[in-house]
Amino acid sequence: MVVNGLRSDYTSPPAADHRFSDAPSSDHADYWPGLRHRAIGPGSGGGREMPGETSFPFRLPERFANRLRWDNPEDPLVRQFLPIPEESRVVPGFVAEPLAERHFLRAPGLLHKYHGRAMLLLTSGCAVHCRFCFRRHGYPREIPHTLAGWEPACLWLEREASITEIIFSGGDPWILADAFLTALTHRLARIPHLKRLRIHTRMPVVAPERVGEGLITTLTATRLQPLVVIHVNHPDELDPAATLALARLSAAGVSLFSQSVLLRGVNDRVEILEKLYTRLLDSRVVPYYLHLLDPVAGSAHFHIPETEARSLMVALAARLPGYAVPRLAREIPGAPGKVVLAAASPEKIHPGAESPV
Ligand code: SF4
């Protein structure tokens, strides 16, 4: 069977099982071919110790790794990606699967949690391994890696007329090749009630060269309205190359939003958050969500209490216009929506104010 010029057995990279995919090889035909990881782990010849390395190994693209100040473990970028022994500490309440996502599976790789939207987990691979990733211990189930494998998800979407937005997530969907993304996007565009395509990605920050003509074409070549939500946590992540990648997306008519995680030792000061959201606005990215840490095992050293997070939001709202202040939110395991804890302006930030989104 041929779909939009591609055979239906066209493959995305296989995830061996439901665990976080290790080592997507840079020469795999179905990955974006520009993906190169820096080998600096033990025994790799890089000479660096990775004392906390676990089954969720260190991973960074080569160019991004070269930007980090490795001699300072407290550097906010190093802290996000360098495994440390602290990760093996057992902390009550920090668990392997903090969001209980498997309860929302409707077809292989398809999650339906929120009204009107559904999410496709396109790959368990990612260009980076953030030490606080809530999927670091695995995925709800096996992820399809052929176009035909995604057909049950497409058929479920065809039956669900209430779904108007489809979200590509993972891992990072933009580590996959343009041809696969294009084929799947064209398939989805044939579902009449789908209107918007949202991408959740960290690639414009950690591998900005990914945002080339081919990728922009995959985003803009169908009738689906493209939105991209960038994962970014610290202003230092936004170097000139990342800013240029965001400008390319914006110039192509793509709506840009941000999501960040509030992390101890990374962005837990109002000055840092102010700088982050100002830089994002300068790049035409609308601040969207600032998430409280999901309590995944191995990440407790990043935890910030909710009361402290609310105080930060009050301070931030006093410095920025309302449109520049993201919504502080947290996920509740098993709940059908995020809980927004604070948004927009100081007068709207009340302790205990909650609204599902
Ligand atoms: S970019 Fe997202 S999916 Fe990838 S490791 Fe970080 S938090 Fe997890």
Distance from the alpha carbon of residue 237 to the mean position of ligand 1, in angstroms: 14
| Any ligand 1 atom below 6 A from CB of 171 | yes
pLDDT computed for residue 33 by the predictor: 84
| Any ligand 1 atom below 6 A from CB of 137 | no
Q: Please say if the pLDDT value at position 350 is more than 60.
A: no
> Which neighbouring-strand residues pair with 229?
200, 257
What average pLDDT is seen over the chain? 84
pTM attached to this predicted model: 0.86
Q: Please say if the pLDDT value at position 335 is more than 80.
A: no
Q: Please say if the pLDDT value at position 343 is more than 90.
A: no
Distance from the alpha carbon of residue 264 to the mean position of ligand 1, in angstroms: 17
> What is the C-alpha to C-alpha distance for residues 275 and 309, in angstroms, rounded to an integer?
17
Token pair 């909650």 is found at: 354
Biggest alpha carbon–alpha carbon distance for the chain: 58
> What is the C-alpha to C-alpha distance for residues 208 and 7, in angstroms, rounded to an integer?
30
pLDDT computed for residue 24 by the predictor: 43
pLDDT tens profile 258-294: 999 999 999 999 999 999 999 999 999 999 999 999 9
pLDDT computed for residue 336 by the predictor: 63
Residue located nearest, by CA, to atom 3 of ligand 1: 171
Closest by CA position to 127, among listed 71, 211, 210: 210
Out of 128, 132, 266, 296, give the residue to mutate to test ligand 1, the one with the largest number of ligand atoms within 8 Å of its CB. 128
pLDDT tens profile 219-254: 999 999 999 999 999 999 999 999 999 999 999 999
Percentage above 90 pLDDT, the chain: 63
pLDDT tens profile 123-172: 988 999 999 998 888 776 778 988 999 999 999 999 999 999 999 998 89
**DSSP symbols for 286-324:** EEEEEEPPP-BTT-GGG---HHHHHHHHHHHHTTS-GGG
- State phi, psi for 275 to the nearest 5 degrees: -65, -40
pLDDT tens profile 19-68: 344 444 333 448 888 876 654 443 333 434 455 556 788 889 888 998 99
Residue located nearest, by CA, to atom 8 of ligand 1: 133
Say which DSSP state 223 is in: S
More confident residue, 144 or 342: 144
Residue located nearest, by CA, to atom 6 of ligand 1: 130
Q: Which atom of ligand 1 is nearest to the CA of 169?
A: 3
Is the bond leading into 170 cis (omega within 30 degrees of zero)?
Answer: no
> What is the C-alpha to C-alpha distance for residues 237 and 82, in angstroms, rounded to an integer?
15
* C-beta atoms surrounding 218 within 10 Å: 24
Tokens of 174: 């933009």
Domains defined along the chain, listed by start: 2-356 (3.20.20.70)
More confident residue, 122 or 40: 122
Distance from the alpha carbon of residue 310 to the mean position of ligand 1, in angstroms: 24
| Pairing relationship of beta strands 105-107 and 110-111 according to DSSP bridges | antiparallel
Give, in degrees to the nearest 5, the angle at Cα 83 between 120 and 111.
Answer: 15
Residue located nearest, by CA, to atom 1 of ligand 1: 202
Q: Which atom of ligand 1 is nearest to the CA of 201?
A: 1
Out of 55, 97, 135, give the residue to mutate to test ligand 1, the one with the largest number of ligand atoms within 8 Å of its CB. 135
pLDDT computed for residue 31 by the predictor: 85
More confident residue, 94 or 12: 94
| Any ligand 1 atom below 6 A from CB of 172 | yes
Taking the CA atoms of 114, 117, 118 and 123 in sequence, report the sign of the dihedral they define: negative
Out of 126, 134, 234, give the residue to mutate to test ligand 1, the one with the largest number of ligand atoms within 8 Å of its CB. 126
Q: What is the mean pLDDT of residues 330-345?
A: 72
Distance from the alpha carbon of residue 273 to the mean position of ligand 1, in angstroms: 20
> What is the C-alpha to C-alpha distance for residues 33 and 286, in angstroms, rounded to an integer?
30
